[in-house]
C-alpha cells in the first residue's frame, strides 16, 4: 500500500477542538489536514475532542486528505483513541513521540486491528511517525522500514519544540543548523523505500519570504511536501512543491526528445545544451504524473 500513497505538498495542522476550521484548510488549498488531538488539546478536553474529530472525519466529503495526530501510544487509552477515529475517509494517523521501530510495529498492529474492526482493507491507513528525539532521528531508516504503511516521513525541525531540545541546535531563519540533519534523514527515508517524504515546520506566521526560502531548501534536498501550522502558509508551500509551467513544458519537450532519440537507436543526447538520457525522461514522466494529480 505505501508505494501507492499520493504525494502531498501541504499538510496543515488543525486543532482537534476546532474541526470547523477544516473548511479554512480546504479553502487555503491544503492537500491534507492533520486534526491534532495531542499538543493542541488540553488534557481535560481530549475526550470531547476525540468525539468531535471522529464525527468530522465521518462527515468529510471533500478531496482534501485527512490525518489525525493521536496521543503517544503508551497506554490502552491511546489504542481506544485509534478505535474511535478509524474510518474509511481517514487517510492516515500521525504518531508522536516515536522512540524507535518497535513503536512503529506496535502502531502498525493496532491499525491493522482497527481496519479489521471497521471493515477496511489492510494497509488502508497510512502511518506517519514523528521523529522528535535524537534516537528517533538517528534510527530514521529502521523506523521507515518497520511497517509497509509508513509514509510521509521526514525531519520536522523548527524553532523550539521537541527536536530543538533533543538535538540542541540554535534555530536561525536560514535553517543552516538543521540542513545536514534534514539531508541525512531524507537519505534514510529514501533508503527505507518510504514514499512521499515531508518536512517542516515554519513557525513564524507572518514571514512568508522566510517560509518560501525554507520550503525551497527542503524541495532542493528531495522532500515532496511540508507540514504547516497556518492556512496562510499553504499557498506558498504548494507553489514551491509544484512544478511551474516552464518546468512542465521542459519536461514535455525532454520526453519527446528522448523518445525520438530512442526510436533512432540513440541513448544519451544533447537537449537544450545538456546531456540527457532515459533516466532523465523517467524523472520527467514522474514529475508530470504528480503535477496532474
- Residues at the binding site for substrate are 69, 132
Under 8 Å between Cβ of 93 and 70: yes
Binding site: what residues are annotated? 69, 132, 162
Q: Which residue in this structure is represented by grid cell 525554507?
A: 214
Other beta carbons within 10 Å of 235 = 14
* Phi-psi label, residue 223: left if phi above 0, alpha if psi -120 to 50, beta otherwise: beta
Contacts 24+ apart (CB under 8 A), 237-245: 237/9, 237/10, 237/211, 238/9, 238/10, 238/29, 238/31, 239/212, 240/212, 240/215, 240/216, 241/9, 241/10, 241/215, 242/9, 242/291, 243/287, 243/288, 243/290, 243/291
**Can you count the helices (H) and strands (E) in the chain?**
12, 9
Binding site for Mg(2+): what residues are annotated? 132, 162
CA distance 65 to 225: 14
CA distance 195 to 201: 19
H or E element in which residue 276 lies: strand 274-276
Strands 274-276 and 269-271: what pairing?
antiparallel
Copy the grid coordinates of residue 179.
540542513
Amino acid at each position: 500500500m505505501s508505494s501507492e500513497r499520493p504525494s502531498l505538498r501541504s499538510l496543515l495542522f488543525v486543532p482537534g477542538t476546532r474541526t470547523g476550521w477544516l473548511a479554512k484548510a480546504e479553502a487555503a488549498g491544503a492537500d491534507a489536514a492533520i486534526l491534532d488531538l495531542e499538543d493542541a488539546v488540553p488534557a481535560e478536553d481530549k475526550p470531547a475532542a476525540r468525539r468531535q474529530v471522529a464525527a468530522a472525519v465521518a462527515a468529510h466529503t471533500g478531496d482534501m486528505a485527512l490525518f489525525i495526530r493521536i496521543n503517544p501510544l503508551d497506554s490502552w487509552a491511546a489504542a481506544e483513541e485509534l478505535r474511535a477515529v478509524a474510518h474509511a475517509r481517514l487517510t492516515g494517523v500521525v504518531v508522536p513521540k516515536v522512540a524507535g521501530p518497535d513503536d512503529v510495529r506496535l502502531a502498525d498492529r493496532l491499525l491493522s486491528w482497527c481496519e479489521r474492526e471497521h471493515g477496511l482493507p489492510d494497509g488502508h491507513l497510512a502511518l506517519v511517525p514523528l521523529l522528535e528525539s535524537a534516537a528517533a532521528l538517528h534510527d530514521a531508516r529502521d523506523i521507515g522500514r518497520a511497517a509497509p504503511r509508513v509514509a510521509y516521513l521526514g525531519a520536522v525541525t523548527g524553532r523550539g519544540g521537541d527536536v530543538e531540545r533533543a538535538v540542541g541546535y540554535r534555530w536561525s531563519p536560514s535553517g543552516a543548523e538543521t540542513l545536514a540533519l534534514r539531508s541525512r534523514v531524507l537519505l534514510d527515508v529514501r533508503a527505507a523505500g518510504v514514499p512521499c517524504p515531508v518536512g517542516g515546520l515554519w513557525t513564524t506566521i507572518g514571514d512568508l519570504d522566510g517560509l518560501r526560502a525554507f520550503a525551497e531548501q527542503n524541495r532542493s534536498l528531495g522532500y515532496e511536501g511540508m507540514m504547516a501550522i497556518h492556512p496562510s502558509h499553504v499557498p506558498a508551500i504548494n507553489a514551491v512543491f509544484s512544478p511551474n509551467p516552464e518546468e512542465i513544458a521542459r519536461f514535455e519537450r525532454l520526453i519527446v526528445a528522448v523518445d525520438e532519440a530512442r526510436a533512432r537507436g540513440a541513448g544519451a543526447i544533447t537537449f537544450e545544451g545538456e546531456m540527457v538520457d532515459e533516466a532523465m525522461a523517467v524523472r520527467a514522466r514522474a514529475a508530470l504524473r504528480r503535477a496532474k494529480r
